[in-house]
Structure 1
């Protein structure tokens, strides 16, 4: 993806950010199950596209791992959270780890309406973000965030 592109997507999109922070790295028995809970969920999400999951990116900063996920709708995200592989992982977390200070977890959900987001990617190599989740469209050299967001 060498040229300057933006997301070619006109619909709503849900951005779900989920992460964990290892607070006590030596207490592996507490944080390892949290770390290992995500791969089966990601496999399930990429395998069954009817769940509404579009794509994700992962970032690691020190002892914190953050996944930014893109979903078709909040309803589909919530349906997934209350069933499938996630439900058993969440129950296991509460039984085994929730009271431990060895690991912290968080999530944020953003229900973004069509036209309320914009993006630019230039010389990023592989697609990421909303472009990875949807599709890419070339941008003119004089394109601006103000224009893409339709601000006058």
Structure 2
């Protein structure tokens, strides 16, 4: 899908905390297609499930490859609570997929053919900033929308100060 660039300098319209999930897989043995293809297809199935139900909290995602062996998704979530709720919900595919992984692992059937991983980060309000120049919305901007750079400050220090000032005003107000 081609997205038209937003001309000029912009910043992400994010407010509050930002939840970022990195999740991926590594193909350890290419010949073990029966082991790694189901893992890859499971990820796509989960992303499609989340896309059909935006109230679950996934704001945006970007699929990336680190090498011919490593694939991952950067995900932006509304909150850690919504991320946890999705992961634990028996009605959602993640719950079943993780149960299969655990059964295979206990039975010794994973045999190192495919690796899986995830990392979750919560960037508190006032601890992140973003700038985009002549870019379509990507990353955090795709998740939250864009604002003209002037709304948050020309320099990174200004954008951090904007967020920090807002956080201080909330504490005192």
Length-normalised TM-score, structure 2 = 0.80
For structure 2, which runs of at least 5 residues remain unmatched after alignment? 165-173
Aligned counterpart, 1:26: 31
Instruction: Say which is worse superposed, 93-102 or 54-63, in terms of deviation.
Output: 93-102
For the 8 Å contact 2:137–2:145, the answer to whether it is kept is no
Q: Which residue is equivalent to 1:47? A: 52
CA contact (8 A) 1:7 1:130 kept: yes
Partner of 2:82: 76
Contact 1:10 1:115 in 2 (8 A): no
Determine whether 1:139 maps to 2:144.
no
Alignment partners' CA distance in 1, 2:23 and 2:119: 7
Higher relative contact order at CA 8 Å, sep ≥6: structure 1 or structure 2? 1
Match of 1:85 in 2: 93
8 Å Cα contact 1:11-1:114 kept in structure 2: yes
Where does the alignment leave 5 or more consecutive residues of structure 1 unmatched? none
Does 1:56 find its partner at 2:61? yes
RMSD of equivalent CA atoms: 1.7
Contact 1:34/1:93 (CA < 8 Å) preserved in 2? no
Once the two structures are superposed, the pairs formed by residues 2-17 of structure 1 within 5 Å of their partners are 2-17=7-22
CA contact 2:35–2:110 (8 Å) conserved in 1: no
Query: How many Å separate the matches in 1 of 2:148 and 2:19?
Result: 23
Q: Compute the TM-score of the two structures, normalised by the length of structure 1.
A: 0.90
Larger Rg: 2
What corresponds to 1:102 in structure 2? Answer: 113
Offset at residue 14 of structure 1 (A): 0.5
CA distance in 2, matches of 1:60, 1:73: 25
- The equivalent position to 1:128 in structure 2, one of 138, 142, 146, is 138
What is the distance in 2 between the residues matched to 1:96 and 1:128? Answer: 36
Q: Deviations over 1:79-110 (max 9, x none)?
A: 11112111011112233467321111111111
